[in-house]
């Protein structure tokens, strides 16, 4: 009998509860993802994530089991989902329950807590903030009764609902609010404290002092909760027995602050010369109120005294809150030196699961003696995570606890960071010291704490090289360039999240050793190395090569703009980068960038809550790619419950392995692969062999002076009276196909910021809206001279045959143009919903456009003329019929075959529709709707047709069986079978099998296939058994479309070609 089954045999209620909810296998063992605290401590990754909640010394509140939903990448952590705690009695006291909940809440990890007692299971919202008035019934989602037959009502809490994400769409899941998590709550409290300490009127203290005051107090709370400082120590040294007393005694408090400064070797929390004079008793009283549990947003101050406030529970345990969370949130408000700079820079921080994703993948197979650099380390979150992983790897390899000098040796010889902000580098030191305290539990006596210096200073004499440098990574003259391991390129991993914001001469940071007139190293580096638009993240991607060997692994979070950024000579910058660097993995996070699961923040003083520009993670080696070098390109997609789940879900279609040489030579492939498949690339390659709009305009005699964007209002005023009286088209106007310029208001502005030459406004005109409207491209023909603003781009056909205008109007108003725009425009589909003039100019047009006598255009132009006349007056059904006919005719002009039309149509129906309508709650998102039998049959028909064209040469055909499964099943299945063309009378069929839903639920837990060396995904399965093929995938329409059938057929052919025998 296994240890698990032995334990469960002695605890029948636990066995019934876990078994009823699907957490036990048929043999009675734990399912994958469920571990007990003992085994979690033995597992390297598990112990990293849950070390504080499975502490054996905390018997009353220690968690007994942890369940994590499956990870989607090898090396990537699972998603903590449920904590299980066994309690001995049904009526556990309110105190015990609230203590357990408070401890769980402080981890910020799992959203659900189960308390299993002899006759019931109580299920709690573990993200709800603990409050003073909480009882054992507070924040409870449900109470399930345990009987000998099972757990009543467990259907709403079964494991597969968490695995598939369906739980988050239920009433119970919707009730859980991630905004009450420990990180959001702590951030709110700190912002409120800063606000009340720094009012605009008299009585406030400077922001810089408020930040350091709060920071020291947080650190004090950490040392107190860790029992490193105790009542006895405080009494003996500072004449107070607790934090609250110390915070009310300014003299002793600053004595304590100086002790902190001395203990940490001067690397942390400097005391400004004027600080003690500026800090009054009221400010210390406010800090004390924070730690006393006061609702800081409720405080009212009158005449420099607290007038009123609301009391609440102080919920934080700093011995449990992850160090990275403390550092990251502190970075939000603490490292800037003035209020304007603080609000400008403190907009977002990296959420821990993104840090863990990047670090776990980057360090997947690194040795425990690896040397690691973060070139823009900020709060130090990457270095702390890397430091902890190195310590745990060495522990695991040595199979014993490490001594203090061994842990310090890792810190002093393997962890390195650079940052231009003094506050950031001090915060990194703070974070690493906290990690050192956590990793070396022998630190218990405050008089025994003396940490090594980490931050470089002039006259360094420490016997080891500095770990941290307050300098610009682009400074090629600083001493760090000559120190080890920088000088000899001994770094095994370079990792981080460099700044993304464009540099300029006025605001670019200067050398921190001469902040007023020093050199602007990073700006100079951008200029010297032709970094487009002076983007610092791209400059750092190049600069870190100076510290790397050919096999050094580099993993950086950068702006997704790199995929379409043009460099010198109009060449894509990333293509140039690929000439000297081998990218082996890319995670393009653009599709989920707006969901607040990657970066955290708080709107403050007019700031935003996210970085704005989508980001991606680039993993590369600084060496020239081989001809067979490939990149694993991973593009996780948005799904409806993403904010509730907070998880990155990756399906096989989201992962492609692509030749680096192909990407270098075809940079638009980054965008095509982000949205589509290999078939889309082949189609775009075919289409882009046609002449572009720019080439067509040039050939028919329209020069660059006759097309472009319209006038700009902003800018230095210039006379614009020459336009007065012209029809004027502005952004509020709605049109498509044509506009009657005579009905437009007349232009009446005296001046414009940027007038345009009158030639681009001469009729006849085509006017293009730069943004989509109602999910459509919008182009209009007008025969009259018309001016238009910069919302539009126009082409004047003055002096050119008007028939060209109508042909182009028909093409670019069709659904096919939407497909082209998403595939070929630089920003549409992953950043802004704009189609810029440069995007339109490179759109391909049919070769036959030049032949005005070609009658293949007659139907297209006839439909265009009809739509020009009836677009506003036609009913929605009539308009749809006309536009569907236009789409078909346009496809004919481009010479699309049946499969190519399916690819285009499905891209529009599923991928583009989902992108455009994701925020519209009442809109039917076609791609993620549940399946019908009819759709499965169409999928199966298409796959059979595709494969039968090959099998017929062997005298065989495929037939299929569609399984009729309940609508709640997470998976659907279709069976295919090879049969003889001539001998078999078997036909396609639909079959209902009793119990198949339960089987598919089991399978859904174990769908994990290796895609490449470093990547695993789950969710889709192909099972080959002699002449049978079973395809099993999630029950969403996008995975069972006809284009999915074509892609699956391609995959089956590749599998077949690699098979040893001739069977499928």
What confidence tens digit (pLDDT) does each residue in 648-675 have?
Answer: 878 878 888 999 999 999 999 999 999 9
Residues 172 and 195 in one domain: no
Residues 713 and 782 in one domain: yes
Structure tokens at 312: 């609440």
Asked if 315 and 185 count as a contact pair (C-beta separation under 8 A), the reply is yes
Highest mean pLDDT: which range of 346-360, 427-441, 681-695: 681-695
* pLDDT attached to residue 645: 75
* Alpha carbon distance 221, 216 (integer Å): 9
C-alpha 1041 chain-centroid distance: 27
For the ranges 129-143, 356-370, 438-452, 724-738, which has the lowest average pLDDT? 438-452
Q: Is 90 exceeded by the pLDDT of residue 420?
A: yes
SS3 of 931-997: the string is CCHHHHHHHHHHHHHHHHHHHHHHCEEEEEEEECCCCCCCEEEEEEEEEECCCCCCCCEEECCCCHH
Q: What is the DSSP string of 995-1017?
A: THHHHHHHHHHS--EEEETTEEE
Mean pLDDT of the chain: 86
Q: Is 90 exceeded by the pLDDT of residue 856?
A: yes
Residue 256's pLDDT band (cuts 50, 70, 90): very high
Residues 346 and 311 in one domain: no
Q: What is the pLDDT of residues 77-110, one digit of tens each?
A: 567 789 999 998 888 888 889 889 998 999 888 8
Cα atoms in the 13 Å half-sphere on the side-chain side of 277: 3
Residues 15 and 40 in one domain: yes
Element (H, E) at 585: strand 582-588
Asked if 261 and 269 count as a contact pair (C-beta separation under 8 A), the reply is yes
Domain range enclosing 944: 929-1058
* pLDDT attached to residue 997: 66
Residues 996 and 1010 in one domain: yes
Q: What is the pLDDT of residues 139-166, one digit of tens each?
A: 999 999 999 889 999 999 998 888 777 8
3-state secondary structure of 11: coil
Last residue of a domain, one of 894, 917, 940: 917
Residues 649 and 787 in one domain: no
Residue 347 domain-assigned (yes or no): yes
Residue 584 domain-assigned (yes or no): yes
Q: What is the pLDDT of residues 607-664, one digit of tens each?
A: 333 446 789 999 999 999 999 999 999 998 888 878 877 778 788 788 889 999 999 9
Residue 113 domain-assigned (yes or no): yes
Residue 687 domain-assigned (yes or no): no
Residue 992 domain-assigned (yes or no): yes
Residue 48's pLDDT band (cuts 50, 70, 90): low
The residue ranking higher by pLDDT, 235 or 350, is: 235
* Alpha carbon distance 408, 399 (integer Å): 18
Residues 441 and 479 in one domain: yes
Asked if 207 and 194 count as a contact pair (C-beta separation under 8 A), the reply is yes
Residues 173 and 195 in one domain: no
Q: Is 80 exceeded by the pLDDT of residue 203?
A: no
Last residue of a domain, one of 119, 152, 178: 178
Read off the pTM: 0.86
Angle, vertex CA 254, rays to CA 252 and CA 256, nearest 5: 70
Residue 922 domain-assigned (yes or no): no
Residues 738 and 830 in one domain: yes
Highest mean pLDDT: which range of 23-37, 41-55, 544-558, 963-977: 544-558
Residues 706 and 760 in one domain: yes
* Alpha carbon distance 246, 530 (integer Å): 55
Helix axes 422-439, 207-225, angle to 10 degrees: 0
Cα atoms in the 13 Å half-sphere on the side-chain side of 281: 6
Average pLDDT over residues 13-37: 87
* Alpha carbon distance 388, 435 (integer Å): 7
Element (H, E) at 1048: helix 1042-1058
Residues 189 and 174 in one domain: no
Structure tokens at 1010: 């290796």
Residue 332 domain-assigned (yes or no): no
Residues 220 and 118 in one domain: no
Closest CA to 904 of 917, 891, 885, 893: 891
Structure tokens at 121: 């299971």
Last residue of a domain, one of 178, 201, 225: 178
* pLDDT attached to residue 426: 84
Q: How far is CA 700 from CA 444, 707, 763, 798, in A?
A: 83, 13, 16, 11
Residue 814 domain-assigned (yes or no): yes
Q: Is 60 exceeded by the pLDDT of residue 1018?
A: no
**High-pLDDT (> 70) share of the chain, %:** 88
C-alpha 341 chain-centroid distance: 26
Q: Is 80 exceeded by the pLDDT of residue 445?
A: no
* Alpha carbon distance 675, 1003 (integer Å): 28
Place of tokens 């952004």: 731
Domains held by the chain: number: 5
């Amino acid at each position: 009998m296994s240890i698990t089954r032995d334990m469960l045999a002695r605890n029948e209620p636990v066995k019934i509860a876990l078994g009823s909810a699907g957490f036990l296998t048929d043999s009675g063992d734990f399912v994958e993802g469920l571990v007990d605290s003992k085994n979690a401590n033995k597992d390297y990754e598990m112990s990293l994530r849950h070390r504080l909640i499975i502490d054996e010394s905390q018997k009353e509140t220690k968690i007994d089991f942890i369940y994590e939903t499956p990870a989607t990448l090898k090396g990537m952590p699972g998603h903590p989902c449920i904590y299980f705690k066994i309690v001995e009695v049904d009526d556990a006291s309110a105190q015990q329950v609230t203590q357990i909940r408070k401890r769980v809440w402080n981890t910020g990890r799992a959203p659900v807590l189960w308390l299993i007692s002899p006759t019931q299971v109580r299920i709690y919202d573990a993200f709800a903030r603990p409050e003073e008035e909480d009882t054992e019934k507070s924040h409870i989602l449900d109470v399930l009764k345990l009987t000998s037959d099972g757990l009543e009502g467990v259907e709403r809490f079964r494991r597969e609902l968490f695995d598939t994400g369906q739980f988050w769409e239920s009433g119970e899941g919707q009730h859980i609010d991630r905004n009450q998590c420990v990180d959001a709550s702590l951030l709110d409290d700190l912002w409120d404290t800063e606000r009340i300490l720094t009012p605009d009127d008299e009585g406030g203290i400077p922001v810089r002092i408020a930040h350091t005051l709060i920071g020291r107090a947080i650190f004090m709370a950490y040392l107190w909760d860790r029992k490193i400082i105790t009542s006895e120590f405080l009494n003996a040294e500072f004449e107070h027995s607790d934090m609250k007393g110390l915070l009310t005694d300014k003299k002793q408090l600053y004595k304590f602050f100086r002790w902190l400064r001395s203990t940490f070797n001067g690397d942390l929390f400097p005391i400004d010369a004027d600080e003690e004079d500026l800090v009054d008793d009221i400010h210390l009283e406010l800090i004390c109120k924070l730690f006393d549990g006061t609702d800081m947003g409720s405080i009212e101050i009158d005449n420099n005294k607290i007038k009123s406030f609301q009391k609440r529970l102080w919920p934080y345990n700093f011995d449990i809150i992850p160090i990275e969370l403390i550092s990251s949130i502190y970075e939000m408000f603490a490292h800037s030196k003035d209020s304007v700079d603080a609000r400008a820079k403190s907009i977002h921080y990296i959420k821990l699961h993104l840090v863990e994703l990047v670090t776990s993948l980057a360090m997947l197979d690194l040795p425990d003696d690896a040397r690691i650099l973060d070139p823009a380390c900020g709060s130090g979150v990457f270095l702390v995570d890397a430091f902890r992983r190195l310590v745990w790897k060495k522990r695991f390899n040595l199979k014993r606890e490490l001594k203090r000098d061994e842990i310090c040796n890792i810190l002093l010889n393997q962890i390195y960071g650079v940052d231009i902000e003094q506050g950031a580098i001090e915060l990194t030191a703070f974070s690493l010291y906290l990690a050192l305290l956590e990793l070396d539990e022998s630190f218990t006596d405050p008089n025994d704490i003396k940490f090594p210096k980490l931050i470089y200073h002039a006259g360094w004499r420490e016997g080891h090289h500095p770990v941290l440098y307050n300098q610009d990574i682009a400074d090629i003259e600083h001493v760090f360039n000559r120190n080890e391991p920088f000088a000899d390129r001994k770094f095994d991993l370079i990792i981080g999240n460099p700044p993304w914001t464009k540099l300029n001469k006025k605001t670019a940071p200067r050398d921190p050793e001469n902040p007023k007139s020093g050199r602007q190293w990073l700006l100079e580096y951008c200029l010297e190395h032709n970094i487009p638009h002076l983007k610092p993240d791209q400059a750092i991607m190049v600069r870190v090569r100076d510290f790397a060997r050919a096999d050094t692994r580099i993993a950086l979070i950068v702006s997704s703009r790199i995929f379409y950024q043009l460099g010198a000579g109009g060449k894509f910058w990333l293509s140039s980068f690929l000439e000297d660097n081998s990218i082996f993995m890319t995670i393009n996070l653009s599709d989920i960038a707006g969901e607040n699961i990657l970066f955290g923040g708080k709107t403050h003083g007019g700031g935003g809550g996210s970085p704005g520009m989508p980001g991606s993670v680039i993993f590369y080696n600084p060496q020239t790619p081989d001809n067979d070098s490939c990149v694993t390109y991973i593009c996780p997609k948005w799904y409806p419950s993403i904010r509730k789940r907070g998880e990155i879900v990756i399906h096989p279609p989201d992962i492609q392995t692509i030749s680096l040489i192909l990407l270098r030579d075809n940079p638009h492939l980054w965008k095509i692969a982000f949205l589509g498949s290999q078939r889309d690339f082949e189609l775009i390659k075919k289409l882009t062999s046609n002449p572009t709009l720019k080439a067509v305009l040039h050939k028919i005699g329209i020069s660059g002076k006759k097309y472009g964007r319209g006038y700009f209002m902003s800018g230095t005023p210039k006379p614009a009276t020459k336009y007065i009286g012209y029809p004027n088209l502005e952004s509020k106007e709605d049109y498509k196909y044509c506009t009657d310029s005579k009905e437009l208001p007349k232009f009446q502005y005296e001046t414009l910021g940027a007038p345009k030459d009158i030639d681009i406004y001469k009729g006849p005109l085509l006017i293009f809206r730069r943004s989509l409207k109602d999910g459509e491209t919008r182009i209009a023909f007008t025969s009259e001279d018309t001016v238009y603003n910069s919302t539009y781009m126009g082409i004047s056909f003055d002096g050119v045959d008007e028939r060209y205008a109508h042909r182009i109007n028909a093409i670019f108003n069709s659904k096919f143009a939407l497909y082209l725009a998403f595939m070929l425009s630089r920003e549409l589909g992953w950043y802004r919903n704009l189609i810029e003039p440069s995007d339109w100019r490179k759109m391909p047009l049919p070769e036959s456009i030049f032949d005005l006598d070609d009658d293949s255009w007659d139907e297209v132009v006839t439909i265009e003329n009809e739509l020009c006349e009836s677009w506003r007056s036609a009913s929605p059904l009539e308009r749809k019929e006309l536009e569907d006919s236009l789409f078909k005719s346009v496809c004919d002009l481009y010479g699309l075959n049946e499969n190519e039309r399916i690819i285009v149509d499905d891209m529009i129906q599923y991928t583009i529709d989902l992108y455009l309508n994701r925020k519209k709650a009442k809109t039917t998102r076609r791609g993620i709707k549940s399946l019908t039998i009819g759709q499965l049959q169409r999928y199966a028909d298409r796959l059979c047709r595709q494969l039968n064209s090959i099998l017929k040469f062997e005298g065989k055909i495929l037939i299929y069986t569609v399984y009729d499964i309940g609508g709640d099943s997470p998976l659907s299945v279709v069976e295919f079978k090879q049969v003889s063309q001539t001998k078999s009378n078997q036909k396609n069929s639909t079959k209902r099998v009793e119990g198949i839903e339960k089987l598919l639920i089991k399978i859904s837990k174990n769908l994990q296939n290796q895609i490449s060396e470093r990547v695993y995904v789950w969710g889709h399965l192909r099972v080959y058994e002699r002449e049978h093929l079973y395809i099993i995938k999630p029950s969403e329409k996008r995975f069972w479309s006809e284009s999915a059938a074509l892609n699956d057929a391609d995959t089956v052919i590749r599998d077949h070609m690699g098979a040893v025998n001739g069977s499928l």
